[in-house]
Amino acid sequence: MATTALNADSFMDTISGDGIVLVDFWASWCGPCRQFAPVFEAASEKNEDITFTKVDTEAEQELAGALQITSIPTLMAFRDGILLFNQPGALPAQALDQVIDAVREVDMDEVRAEVAKQQADQGSAQA
């Protein structure tokens, strides 16, 4: 499966769906981004059940700013609309495989329960 380009219009719809979505924030002038690109592409070929996407931070500066992307490349991993991983830096293939395995193994019922608890705590703190 090839990677898909995301923009401000398609970002939320893509990450909020069911399943795993990996987002690579990059720019054409970024050396580490160019090094990471073939690793990311190869992972997309091996993991057809995952949606692999890319955001060009030059073309999508507003989106990158809203997501507080301060260093590129940055990799984000979402599962069922919940951000599980957010880290700057080019990953070697083995490290990317470890991230993918970890995201697959997460107990999403536990994550949803924790998110609900945090939202409830925030709501009671604001009241």
Are residues 77 and 106 in contact, defined by beta-carbon separation less than 8 angstroms? Answer: no
Q: Helices in the chain by DSSP H: which ranges?
A: 8-15, 31-46, 61-66, 93-105, 108-126
Query: Which of 15, 21, 22, 30 is an active site residue?
Result: 30
SS3 14: helix
Query: Which of 6, 15, 22, 33 is an active site residue?
Result: 33
Token reading at 13 = 């719809």
For residues 32 and 22, give the distance between their C-alpha atoms in angstroms, rounded to a whole number: 17
- 51 forms beta bridges with 21
Residue 25 appears among annotated catalytic residues: no
Residue 72 appears among annotated catalytic residues: no
Which residues are tagged catalytic? Answer: 30, 33
